[in-house]
Structure 1
Amino acid sequence: MSSDVPSPTPVVAARDLVKSYPPARRGGTETVVLTGISMTVEPGEFVAIVGPSGSGKSTLLYCLAGLEPPSRGQVLLLGEDPATLLRGRLARLRRSGVGFVFQSFNLIPSLSARENVTLPARLSGRRVRAAEVTAALAAVGLQDRGSHRPGELSGGQQQRVAIARVLAARPRVVFADEPTGALDGATGTAVLGLLTQAAHAGSAVVLVTHDLEAAARADRVIVLRDGAIHGELRTPTAAEIFAAVHGHPAGALR
């Protein structure tokens, strides 16, 4: 009798993903940003995507999240191809299973912190208990700021509200694009700790970052160069990531 345990179904899968943009003017050439990306993200896995400026990191994240359609190839998000879904079905898929954390926070200015945290659940028709919201705000150290609107909070506090919104929604996958870029060191470290906590609780996390110390927190680091995967590293140090990004022989890919 076999003791083999079936591998979990990836929450995100890309196959031969290509993304290009048409020429800005007639007679120009198209801009190819991603060239044949194939990758998967497993449940509960923390994956960081790094690479030089212009390597296609954010474009890859947006394609994986269903925010940008691929030019060729396929993306499966929670088992479905966003490019084939009607707008309403795609919106429901995002609301029910996907969390987003961006540098711009994306909070609703007219809503309080508590109301922003409960918004994804309300949009998906799911009831969130007050205790869950309180626990999510407490997890980011903002239990006493629930009635404050975003304009009354610092940038770091707004980002933590965005993280609390993800924690309360308990999505199957979280996409984070440079979430610490506008934060001071201490607040950025706290935000990364919360993303790690989300992964440990079972949500896959896909992080795009230029911060190599942040990337070193991931289970796996994907290195992009010129729109292609240059290599992958597992539980690397920041020095090993630096070497891989910049093509140095030290800390070679493993």
Structure 2
Amino acid sequence: MGDVTDSLIHAENLHKSFTSAGTKEPRVPVLRGITLDVRAGEMVSIVGPSGSGKSTLLYCLSGLEPADSGSVQLVGRELGTLGRGALATLRRKHVGFVFQSYNLIPSLTARENIALPARLARRRVNPAGIDRALADVGLSDRGGHRPAELSGGQQQRVAIARVLAMRPDIVFADEPTGSLDTATGSDVLRLLRASAGDGRAVVVVTHDLEAAALADRVLVLRDGLIHSELRRSTPEQVLEAITLAGTAA
């Protein structure tokens, strides 16, 4: 672990469990005591067999889901001490999200969707920044189109442009290439990789070996624990680590 003071994300001994809706079955542990740091300038991928706790970890790290115990600090703020309003404000100011489902507002144009986070945060909308973000994702000529007028790949690029225009300290991405073709997915990954700079960080949950291998570090989960960690790995090394995690006793 690095010095906590240089971490944009610091998680200590995270535990999380769930119960099945409408049942009295015992709670099922999903995270079993995870400790990690993500530092400025890093891209970190989270991989592992199905059910290993990848998305749950991302949601707990981003404050979308409260942990049962343990602590998470984002940009130096302890999430467990924040009320709902303060937590929402922290995310608006410092965090960007990219999900497989895009989360675009159907009634808004691409340009308006990109501007929405700034409006919600009551910050000045920067038209030049929106133009630059659209150009960065190859959609300079689609700013006036609504989501229904865009392909799935174009919608995901708008979601990426929304994050690029925000310039958040931390980007969380959950399976960002899951519904994209190979070429479009590669473009999205390059944009995410490039955004992990200038003192910012990117955390990606993915099944995509190429996506995982782009990261500075790969955290391999198994049964809610970090089974192994890879640095500057190849897709083949990531696959081997996931396979080992899936077959470990």
**Which TM-score applies when normalising by structure 1?**
0.92
- Is 1:189 aligned to 2:186, yes or no? yes
Would you say the 8 A contact 1:15–1:75 is kept in 2?
Answer: yes
Measured in 2, the distance between the counterparts of 1:228 and 1:130 equals 44
Name structure 2 gaps, 5 residues minimum.
none
Amino acid at match of 2:197: H
- Map 1:90-169; keep pairs closer than 5 Å: 90-169=87-166
- Map 1:39-50; keep pairs closer than 5 Å: 39-50=36-47
Amino acid at match of 1:48: S
Amino acid at match of 1:224: L
Aligned length: 243
1:15 to partner: Cα distance: 0.3
Identity across aligned pairs (percent)?
62
Would you say the 8 A contact 1:17–1:72 is kept in 2?
Answer: yes
Q: Secondary structure at the match of 1:183?
A: coil
Picking from 79, 82, 90, the partner of 2:79 is 82
1:84 to partner: Cα distance: 2.1
Measured in 1, the distance between the counterparts of 2:81 and 2:150 equals 39
Measured in 2, the distance between the counterparts of 1:160 and 1:23 equals 35
1:24 to partner: Cα distance: 4.7
Amino acid at match of 1:11: L
1:89-134 Cα deviation digits (max 9, x unpaired) = 1111011100000000001111110011011111111112211110
- Map 1:1-254; keep pairs closer than 5 Å: 9-22=6-19, 24=21, 27-247=24-244
Measured in 1, the distance between the counterparts of 2:72 and 2:24 equals 30
Name structure 1 gaps, 5 residues minimum.
1-5, 249-254
Change (3 A) 1:122 1:238: same
Measured in 2, the distance between the counterparts of 1:83 and 1:13 equals 13
Q: Secondary structure at the match of 1:100?
A: strand
Measured in 1, the distance between the counterparts of 2:199 and 2:193 equals 10
Q: Secondary structure at the match of 2:77?
A: coil
1:86 to partner: Cα distance: 1.5
Measured in 2, the distance between the counterparts of 1:144 and 1:203 equals 28
Q: Secondary structure at the match of 1:91?
A: helix
Measured in 2, the distance between the counterparts of 1:47 and 1:225 equals 17
Quick check: 17-26 or 115-124, which moved more?
17-26
Measured in 2, the distance between the counterparts of 1:23 and 1:217 equals 35
Quick check: 20-29 or 81-90, which moved more?
20-29
Measured in 2, the distance between the counterparts of 1:22 and 1:84 equals 25
Q: Secondary structure at the match of 1:11?
A: strand
